[in-house]
Amino acid sequence: MTTRTIQVDLLARVEGEGALSLVLEGDRVVDAKLRIFEPPRLFEALLLGRACTETPDITARICGICPVAYEMSACHAVEDALGVRVEGALRDLRRLLYCGEWIESHVLHMVLLHAPDFLGFPDALTLARHHPERVKAGLRVKKAGNAIVRLLGGREIHPVNVKVGGFYRVPGQAEIAALLPDLRSAREEAEETLSWLATFDFPAFDRDRELVALRHPAEYPMNEGRLGSTHGLDIDVREFGAHIVEEQVAHSTALHARIVGRGSYLCGPLARYVLNADRLSARAQAAAARAGLDPSCRNPFRMLLVRGVEVVYALDEAIRIIDSYAPPAQACVPLAMRAGTGQAATEAPRGTLYHRYVLDDGGVIRQAQITPPTSQNQRGMEEDLVAMGGMLASLPLEEARARAEHAIRNYDPCISCSTHFLTLAFEQRERS
Amino acid sequence: MARPKLAVWKFASCDGCQLSLLDCEDELLAVGEAVDIAYFPEVTSRVEPGPYDLSLVEGSITTQKDAARIREVRACSRTLVTIGACATAGGIQALRNFRDHGHMLSVVYARPETIDALSSSTPIAGHVSVDFELRGCPVDKRQLLEVVSAFLNGRKPNVQSHSTCLECKMRGTVCVMVAKGEPCLGPVTHAGCGALCPAYGRGCYGCFGPSDAPFTAPLARRFLATGSQSGDVRRLFSTFNAAAEPFANEARRHDD
């Protein structure tokens, strides 16, 4: 057996920075560690003593890529503590805002960060020299998603218009209808983008394991639902802590999550799709079928296509919401402070994002827990690398390293979210 | 002629400021042609060695390792521009500077002794010389393009340091303090966002940090006179630019 060592100092094209260490004996991975050492920013501690109404603005700063997800989970969790429900047009506007974030975040990942892996390019700028129309189309779709966030939120990153109970200002009908032409053409271009992505080569790599996502009685899940899984989990989000535990591991500043009694699981687009394909719009289901996807898919490399389907869905859903929109009488539901515990999970682009707050009678935060998708998926990503041992061992050195990085990027890991950093150190050594 | 080399570096941050460049959907490909993106891990696997003509630095210094790394970044950069509130003022994570750090670590981690984290979050200019500081949490993408373009063309960036309040007046927004009694940091906050929050009916929360000569005390007195509690005033000055001196000093005058 040969001895090979691969070092990559920094995993590129992910949000945030971190490292991976992989030890191969022959064709067997004996150890895989996704090392997240992004400096901790201690959000759960700095939230203590803050007003619960500050949670959307403060937790948005955990992640510049998916601030809306943080704003949504924070609002729902605080509203749960205060006994407030946000319904009707305000609820629709939140869903519309989330559609905008799914579109811009997914397209960023699909076209600018991940597609280069499949075609052997270092980045999207090189990709754009070979496939200019595909990259330009992707940028237009991304822009249409960002236009939603900009209108409803004020700006694309760290939107200012979201508050506990609703919004500061709601758009008028004409204002919001002005988004429609670009959303309609983006929907066509998203379908074409998906057809292009479906022509890529996907490594054969099926992994059977527990997939976890929200499931809602009527909708493809974004803001609400019970937490379900492929292995029988079906719980109210308030039972999250009784079923899912987080633990500190030596090689990471992100806490690892697992399901009590069963171990690792995965959340994210693949889990959402597998558990909720029947809740997609007809148009998104048709797009999935054309891309060769069905809910039996367990190949993380094909998650690229699932994101593409979710973009078509989010555009379809955004158009539906705008078509039926009538401005609500009030921009926000009135709030009355009280002591209590509030919990919520929403579906961030990268997976289930859980927040839990304990408030005192003045609405001041006394405890905070935030479980982002990437820390839930961290162990599953490591397990993928272990399972890829045979595939990696058969490849020349540079290709093996590229494939391992590619496999991590399947999850669109958000290291800033999970608090953290990746370097890739991969070594293959002779069994002594 | 060789294209100027651009590098983008990340320290403790949310990624949002560097992402602002990728949110320039209409300009991104043109920027990629005008400059050689020589180091930008979020965007490319390609790494070219320095020196770099322009380094954009996002994030604050919160670990020993990063305190050493920023000196290396400075050494290989002809021009160094910080982007965003973390890099220019320590960011939201600078709230730790005013609290018991050991306790904060123990709130998040079961074994806090294994975590490398300094007890303060400090701006880049506290460690190395900085050629220009672009404000905002996040930065405004139009201002970011202006700064990149200015430095690559050897001119001063056209970035105004007056208050958000002035931007708001120019925009013609009805004053949220006068009309609704909402506390608003616009009069003491650096311009740049286009006075977004008042346009959405809420007071400015200071994410661009202090403006030139910010008179915070009379503003704080006004908040107290119009119904804010002392803790509210303290928190308002103590969020995304908590360690910026004028805001930190004002926050200290108010109890929780």
Assess whether B132 and B222 both reside in one domain: no
CB neighbours of A140 closer than 8 A, spacing ≥ 6? A182, A185, A186, A189, B25
Taking the C-alpha atoms of residue B170 and residue B7, their distance in angstroms, rounded to an integer, is: 35
> What is the distance in angstroms between the Cα of B131 and the nearest Cα belonging to chain A?
25
Q: Are residues B141 and B111 in the same domain?
A: yes
Distance CA A24, CA A9 (A): 18
- Residue A107 touches partner B, C-beta closer than 8 Å: no
Per-residue model confidence as pLDDT tens digits over A237-264: 999 999 988 777 766 666 677 888 888 8
Tell me, yes or no, whether B222 lies in a domain: yes
pLDDT at A425 over 50: no
Tell me B103's DSSP state.
Answer: H
Same domain, yes or no: B169 and B223: yes
* Helix intervals (H) in B109-212: 141-152, 164-171, 176-180, 196-199
Contact with chain A for residue B26, Cβ under 8 A: yes
- The answer to whether position B159 is within a domain reads no
Q: Give yes or no for B35 touching A (CB within 8 A).
A: no
Q: What's the total number of domains in chain B?
A: 2
Q: Are A78 and A53 in contact (CB under 8 A)?
A: yes
Helix, strand, coil shares of chain A as percentages rounded to 5?
45, 20, 35
For helices A67-82 and A88-107, give the axis angle rounded to 10 degrees.
Answer: 150
Rounded Cα distance, B215 and B223, in Å: 13
Residues B171 and B92 in one domain: no
Amino acid, single-letter form, for residue A364: V
pLDDT score at A36: 72
**pLDDT at residue A263 in the model:** 84
| pLDDT tens digits, B56-113 | 999 999 999 999 999 999 999 999 999 999 999 999 999 999 988 888 878 777 777 7
Q: What CA–CA distance (Å, rounded) separates A33 from A425?
A: 9
Distances (CA, A) of A407 to A9, A249, A385, A411: 17, 22, 7, 8
Residue A423 has pLDDT above 50, yes or no: no
Q: What is the mean pLDDT of chain A?
A: 90
Compute the half-sphere exposure of residue A182: CA atoms within 13 Å on the CB side of its CA.
18
Same domain, B182 and B108: no
Contacts of A136 in chain B (CB under 8 A): 29
> What is the per-residue pLDDT for B101?
82
pLDDT of residue A301 exceeding 80, the answer is yes
Confidence of residue A431 (pLDDT cuts 50, 70, 90): very low
Pairing of strands A424-429, A19-25: parallel
Which phi and psi angles does A358 have, rounded to 5°?
A: -110, 125
Residue B202 has a pLDDT of 97
Q: Distances in Å between the alpha carbon of B153 and those of A88, B34, B53, B157, B227?
A: 52, 11, 11, 10, 49
Pair (B134, B173) in one structural domain: no
**Span A99-128, average pLDDT:** 96
CATH number of the A4-203+324-429 domain: 1.10.645.10
- Per the structure, the complete domain to which residue B173 belongs is given by 164-252
What is residue A432's predicted lDDT score, i.e. its pLDDT?
A: 34
Residue A136 has pLDDT above 60, yes or no: yes
- Residues of chain B under the 50 pLDDT cut: none
Reported confidence tier of residue A417, pLDDT bands at 50, 70, 90: low
- Token digits for B204? 């400015």
User: Cα-atom radius of gyration of chain A, to the nearest Å?
Assistant: 21
> Tens digits of per-residue pLDDT, A342-382?
999 999 999 999 999 999 999 999 999 998 998 889 888 88
pLDDT band at A2 (very low <50, low <70, confident <90, very high): low
Closest residue in B to A252 (Cα–Cα): B115
Residue A426 has what pLDDT?
Answer: 40
The average pLDDT across A107-122 equals 95
For residue A7, the model assigns a pLDDT of 55
Give the mean model confidence (pLDDT) for residues A285-289: 98
Q: Is residue B158 part of a domain?
A: no
Check pLDDT > 70 for residue A9.
no
CB distance A164 to A78 below 8 Å: yes
Pairwise CA distance, residues A357 & B241, whole Å: 24
Q: Does residue A421 carry a pLDDT above 60?
A: no
CATH number at residue B22: 3.40.50.700
A83/A18: higher pLDDT: A83
- B146 and B181 co-located in one domain: no
Any residues with CB less than 8 A from the CB of B154 and at least 6 apart, and which?
Answer: none
Q: What is the pLDDT of residue A416?
A: 66
Is the Cβ–Cβ distance between A365 and A45 less than 8 Å? no
* Residue A319 pLDDT exceeds 70: yes
pLDDT value at residue A424 = 35
Q: What is the pLDDT of residues A19-45, one digit of tens each?
A: 777 888 888 888 887 777 678 888 999
- Do residues B109 and B181 both lie within one domain? no
Structure tokens at A184: 């309609």
Looking at the structure, tell me whether residues B146 and B169 fall in a common domain: no
Cβ–Cβ under 8 Å, residues A276 and A220: yes
Looking at the fold, whether B121 and B208 belong to one and the same domain comes out as no
Q: Looking at the structure, tell me whether residues B180 and B241 fall in a common domain.
A: yes
Give the C-alpha separation, A226 to A239, whole Å.
Answer: 10
Asked whether residue B176 falls in the same domain as residue B136, the answer is no
A57 to B111: CB separation less than 8 angstroms, yes or no: no
B44, B63, B171: best to mutate for the A interface, most A CBs within 10 A: B44
Q: What is the DSSP string of A301-333?
A: GGHHHHHHHHHHHHHHHHHHHHHT----S-SB-
pLDDT confidence tier of residue A1, bands split at 50, 70 and 90: low
pLDDT value, residue A246: 78
Chain B touched by A362 (CB under 8 Å) = no
Token output for B81? 């521009």
User: How large is the ipTM?
Assistant: 0.96
